[in-house]
């Protein structure tokens, strides 16, 4: 019996909750579904102010998704230096950056055709 994968909407809601739990900043959702040949349906991009906060965001996301949806990332990379951590949940990929690294790579403009949603945070 195969386990039912959570929907992209469930995953996005839970991931954002994990980011907000540890005060991740500048949360953006890129909807890639209308773009041909993309690796996933959504990117979630956010930033932390230090290696410590980037790692805290990554850990919070993993904990929330595991607890709420009983799912875990297929692949995680970048945790060693914690400047840019990529978390691959197959149809949703999370990018957790430090501010200067996010500005340097500017992946939002690379995917300029994507529908973009900014998440308002209250902190």
Q: What SS3 string covers 75-92?
A: EEECCCCCCEEEEECCCE
Q: What is the pLDDT of residues 45-97, one digit of tens each?
A: 999 999 999 999 999 999 999 999 999 999 999 999 999 999 999 999 999 99
Residue 5: per-residue pLDDT: 79
Q: End-to-end distance of the chain based on CA atoms, in angstroms?
A: 43
DSSP state of 6: P
Work out the percent of the chain whose per-residue pLDDT is above 90.
90
Q: What is the pLDDT of residues 31-48, one digit of tens each?
A: 999 999 998 999 999 999
Residue 57: per-residue pLDDT: 98
- Which architecture characterizes domain 8-114 according to CATH? 2-Layer Sandwich (3.30)
Q: Which two tokens stand for residue 24?
A: 């991740």
Q: How far is the C-alpha of 94 from the C-alpha of 41, rounded, in Å?
A: 11
Residue 66: per-residue pLDDT: 97
């Amino acid at each position: 019996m195969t386990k039912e994968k959570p929907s992209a909407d469930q995953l996005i809601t839970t991931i954002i909750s994990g980011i907000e739990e540890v005060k991740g900043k500048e949360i953006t959702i890129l909807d890639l579904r209308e773009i041909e040949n993309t690796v996933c349906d959504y990117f979630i991009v956010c930033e932390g102010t230090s290696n410590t906060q980037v790692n805290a965001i990554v850990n919070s996301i993993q904990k929330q998704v595991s607890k709420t949806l009983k799912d875990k990332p297929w692949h995680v990379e970048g945790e060693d230096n914690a400047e840019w951590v990529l978390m691959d949940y197959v149809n949703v990929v999370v990018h957790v950056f430090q501010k200067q690294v996010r500005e340097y790579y500017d992946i939002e403009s690379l995917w300029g055709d994507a529908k973009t949603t900014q998440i308002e945070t209250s902190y």
